[in-house]
Amino acid sequence: MIVRNGRIAPENLGPTITVGEILVEIMASTTGFGFKEPQTLIGPFPSGAPAIFIDQVARLGGAAGIIATVGADDFGAVNIERLRRDGVDTSAISISPDRPTGSAFVRYRDDGSRDFIFNIMHSAAGSVILTSSAETLIAKAGHVHVMGSAFAIPGADKVIDAAIRSVRSREGSVSFDPNVRKELLGSGNFRSQFETMIQNADLLLPSGEELFVAAGVDGEIAAIKALHARGVGEIALKRGRQGATFFGESGARFDFHGFEVDEIDPTGAGDAFGATYLTSRRQGLGPEVSLERAAAAGAHNVTKRGPMTGLPDTAQLDLFLSTNPRRTA
């Protein structure tokens, strides 16, 4: 492990890159439980947490790239076309000749919870390797963003490690979104990979109980102190529709209560939040302003159906900020 410098690297140091799964999402048009009866489906929508994240970075004017694999099929093409159109460097996306692009089928229940059927591990998304194109992208990166979901992909840990070492050699920075259920952390290599990321992260972007999993202790204040003591400089805690909180290692804290919006599809909101917070910081904005912009991006995204459909560009984000009411508590 190369020691972190405790700051988020500015945009001019090089692009933000990420590693992980690219999927298509196909969703039921009605609420209900699972997929045991015939129903109308809509999609495919470009998806995958790292893909959503990096697309939002690019839409906000940040230099961005992704290392991933898709199949030689229409589902892969629709993802690459979307990312490329929004300005993402897609040169390190491999195309598998014998595995299909990963997929996620989702159905919403009346209470907003979701049922998923994933095809990741036996798809192209379940294979990430350090190609020469990936090495070229890594060599110019200024920041690496890691999603916990990538830990389940064989070989992704080697690519992530190479990327972190490379950006650290140029005084770049690292962010980590745990994006994982605590039940998945108890076996195999998962826990050690998670701990390595906590040791490397300059910025942590947890949701809910992920904060306690990351810290290894219960209680919000205790968890924040434990993470700062381990060298995590900034923590932006996502609280869903209740907003978000920034915790700085100097003791600074900013609470933002979120926006009043009509939610249509929550998938991708956390990824939009994380990408906007990071990109705002890399572009020189302070943590309080970045937190509000991040919450706005997440709120904007839930108003559209499809994980990337509601990702705002800079003009859309500014309009949303100027026209939408904030929650008071």
Digit-coded pLDDT (tens) for 3-41: 556 689 999 999 999 999 999 999 888 888 888 888 889
Q: How confident is the model at residue 215 (pLDDT cuts 50, 70, 90)?
A: confident
Residue 123 burial (CB count, 10 A) = 23
Give CA–CA dist 149/217, Å, rounded. Answer: 22
Residue 296 backbone dihedrals phi, psi, to 5 degrees: -65, -40
pLDDT of residue 3: 52
pLDDT of residue 6: 63
Six token digits for residue 115: 């049922």
pLDDT of residue 5: 60
Paired strand residues for 46: 24
Six token digits for residue 243: 């907003």
Give CA–CA dist 156/178, Å, rounded. Answer: 15
Which has more confidence, 39 or 75?
Answer: 75
pLDDT of residue 187: 47
pLDDT of residue 1: 44
Give CA–CA dist 284/312, Å, rounded. Answer: 19
Contact 17, 27 (CB under 8 A): no
Question: Which amino acid belongs to residue 293?
Answer: R
Give CA–CA dist 20/139, Å, rounded. Answer: 18
Q: 95-122 as b/e, with b when 16 or more CB fall inside 10 Å?
A: ebeebbbbbbbbbbeeeeeeeeeebbee
Paired strand residues for 26: 105
Distance of CA 289 to the CA centre of its chain: 20
> How far does the chain reach from its first CA to its final CA, in angstroms?
41
